Amino acid sequence: MSIAGESTNWEPKILAFLCNWCSYAGADLAGTSRIQYPPNVRVIRVPCSGRVNPLHIVSALRQGADGVLVSGCHPGDCHYLSGNLYARRRFALLQRYLTYLGIEPGRVQFSWVSASEGGRFAEVVTEVTEAVRALGPAKRLNVRAESIVAPMELS
C-alpha cells in the first residue's frame, strides 16, 4: 500500500503498460535471459502502445501508483504500422501537461523497447524505479492519500 509515511519499508509501485509485440516480448526476453531488474513493476500487456488512453495513466496515479511506464515499439516498427506514432504525440502532450500542473517529472515515463532488447528493458525499469524511489510515495492525485481506512497490516 502506498499510503504516505505509513511504512518505512515503502517500495515504489509502478504500473507498466507494455505493447504485446515489442516491449512485452522484450520484458519476456529479460526474464528468460535471467537479467536482474527491480521487481517493482506491475505489467499490463496491451496490443499496442497506441491503445493506452491518458485515462489509464491518470487513473493509475489516482488509484495509488507511484509511477507509470508506457513502453512500445520503436517508431517505424509498430506491429500495427502507426499506433505508436499516434501514441507518441498523445504522450508528449500528456507528460508536459502533467508536469505543468505540478506532477513530479519522473513519475510518468515512456520508452521504446523492442522484442530483442531484454537488456534495454531491464535498464528502463531500473531507471524508472530509481527515479520514482527518489520522489517518494505518490500523493498528488492519489485518492488513497486521503483515505481514512487503515491499510491491511502485513505479517
**Sites of contact with another protein (CB under 8 A):** 1, 54-55, 58-59, 62-64, 75-76, 82, 85-86, 88-105, 109-112, 124, 127-128, 140-153, 155
- Minimum CB distance to another protein, residue 4 (Å): 14
> What are the cell numbers at 48?
499496442
Give 9 or 100: the residue with its C-beta nearer to another protein: 100
Measure the CA–CA gap between 24 and 7, rounded to whole angstroms. 31
Give 25 or 125: the residue with its C-beta nearer to another protein: 125
Q: Is 83 helix (H, G, I), strand (E, B) or coil?
A: helix
- Minimum CB distance to another protein, residue 86 (Å): 6
- Minimum CB distance to another protein, residue 105 (Å): 8
- Minimum CB distance to another protein, residue 49 (Å): 11
Q: Which residues of 127-136 are buried (b: 16+ CB within 10 A; e: fewer)?
A: ebbebbbebe
- Minimum CB distance to another protein, residue 65 (Å): 12
- The values of phi and psi at residue 6, to 5°, are -80, -30
Give 5 or 151: the residue with its C-beta nearer to another protein: 151
Give 24 or 110: the residue with its C-beta nearer to another protein: 110
* Sign of the torsion formed by the C-alpha atoms of 98, 107, 88 and 53: negative
For residue 94, how many C-alpha atoms fall within 13 Å in the half-sphere facing its CB?
21
Measure the CA–CA gap between 143 and 63, rounded to whole angstroms. 6
Measure the CA–CA gap between 144 and 20, rounded to whole angstroms. 30
Give 4 or 93: the residue with its C-beta nearer to another protein: 93
